[in-house]
Amino acid sequence: MDRRGAADTGSGYCLKDFAIGWAARKGSAVAEREVVYLSEVVGALSFALDITEGQPVGHSLRCCWIGMHLGMRLGLSQAELSDLYYTLLLKDIGCSSNAARICQLYLADDLSFKSNYKVVDTKLPEILRFLIANTGRRSGFVERLQTLVHIARNGGEISKELIETRCQRGAVIARSMRFSEAVAQGILDLDEHWDGSGQPVELEGEAISLFARIALLAQVVDVFFMRGGAKAALAEVTERSGRWFDPQLVALLAGMIDDAGFWQAMLSNDLHERVMGLEPRALTRAVDEDYLDDIAAGFAQVVDAKSPFTAGHSDRVALFTDLIAEEMGYAPERRRWLKRAALLHDIGKLGVSNSVLDKNGKPDDDEWAEIKRHPELGRVILSKIAAFQDMARIAGDHHEKLNGRGYPHGIKADAIDLDTRIVTVADIFDALTADRPYRKAMPVSAAFEIMEKEVGSGLDPDVFAALRRGFMRLEDVAGSEGERAA
């Protein structure tokens, strides 16, 4: 069914509906503080996707603003707009999965590489200029030359691999977070182009998900809008119309060029609230505890996918956190909350370059400063969600030490609560017992010996004792099971 160019009438969700929805949300924000909306959670967590793509803060929200207005002008139904809404917010949810590979293949900082690549067309001269400017800038001449030759010979396969990894992983994570197959398909098709020159499978025209067509257009519009304004953005997508973009979508965008309010809203301080109001009112979803668990687990996958050395880290920290909390007599509800916080404790690492995270050696002063930024980034991201305020504190403080020698703020014992102390011990234990770029994993006994030296000065003694008791209990259970099997 072709709805392109449809007026704001009939069963489609229109601008009037948006105005009503936004006003209702603003009016009920205080009265319904205890209700957690899916759009609030995903909209806030989308900031984590912005930083891992090297984009200005609010990129995903602005893409949602652009794309939803296009969808409303297409006359899409409320159900379709709901799927489009989450496609736009989550279009980059697989983006962390190719970060390590970008660093490896291009000898580059993944964050700046991705940011700079966003303005590149697929024309050969542009691609060559980009590669020469962004490949191996800190490497020696011979290594850089060898890398450029390798890319020249295998560029198509390399590009396909990176996009396929990102898009497929993103679709898998979206499904795990209970989003529809239409949302997953929109994420999967994001880098396909109208003329069939995109990737990973070179889909063409209307074979590409409509949501993906809108999301790609919105993405490029935002990138060029933030660099040069509305007219620069329209000029760029018009030049790519019929190649990258569906011409009818570009025509719809052209009809919005003189709507000053539309463009000004993208720079407003209340953009998050405006975007929340864009979700069709009849399909607005509140999330329960089970769904919050799934969302936390989904974003933990995004964090852990960033580096091969952090694969499974958030899940293991959550497991060890729960083990400690159980030993310390936490109630089931509080254990569940703390496990969720542990899953998201490292979300700020999405803003740290893989050239630092995966470095085979000691970080220099600048790299160490970048690493020390990640707790505060995590605090900022999670604090955008009212229901996650306490989790934000844990993310921000989980590298602090009782003696004040931790980071980022050097706070002391009286400012570090028990929940944070538990996650800190779980995090350090997993770091010691997992592989790292500069060393192999340690045995549990060796990890305990190292941690014991920090007990009292850096680590909470009761929390560390609970971790040891928990492991002794697990060993007893494993021994009993082994005897039964024998």
| Active-site residue list | 349
Q: How many CB atoms lie within 10 A of CB 325?
A: 27
- Contact criterion met (CB below 8 Å) for 250 and 269: no
Report the C-alpha gap between 352 and 209 in whole angstroms.
32
- Whole-number Cα distances in Å, 223 to 55, 66, 88, 139, 333: 8, 12, 14, 29, 43
- Whole-number Cα distances in Å, 330 to 237, 343, 475: 55, 18, 22
Distance of CA 145 to the CA centre of its chain: 33
Report the C-alpha gap between 400 and 398 in whole angstroms.
6
H-helix segments, 229-278: 230-239, 247-254, 260-265, 271-278
Contacts of residue 82, Cβ cutoff 8 Å, sequence gap at least 6: 279, 280, 283
| Of the candidates 123, 125, 124, the residue with the CA atom closest to the CA atom of residue 239 | 123
> What would you report as the CA-atom Rg of the chain, rounded to the nearest whole angstrom?
24
H-helix segments, 177-246: 181-188, 210-228, 230-239
Report the C-alpha gap between 208 and 190 in whole angstroms.
9
Report the C-alpha gap between 54 and 344 in whole angstroms.
20
- Contact criterion met (CB below 8 Å) for 376 and 400: no
H-helix segments, 75-140: 78-90, 99-106, 110-117, 124-134
- Contact criterion met (CB below 8 Å) for 324 and 117: no
Tell whether the torsion through CA atoms of 139, 143, 145 and 147 is positive or negative: negative
Amino acid symbol at 127: I
Q: Is 242 helix (H, G, I), strand (E, B) or coil?
A: coil
Q: Backbone phi, then psi, for 110, in 5-degree steps?
A: -60, -35
Report the C-alpha gap between 472 and 461 in whole angstroms.
17
Contacts of residue 3, Cβ cutoff 8 Å, sequence gap at least 6: 12, 74, 75, 76
Q: How many CB atoms lie within 10 A of CB 67?
A: 30
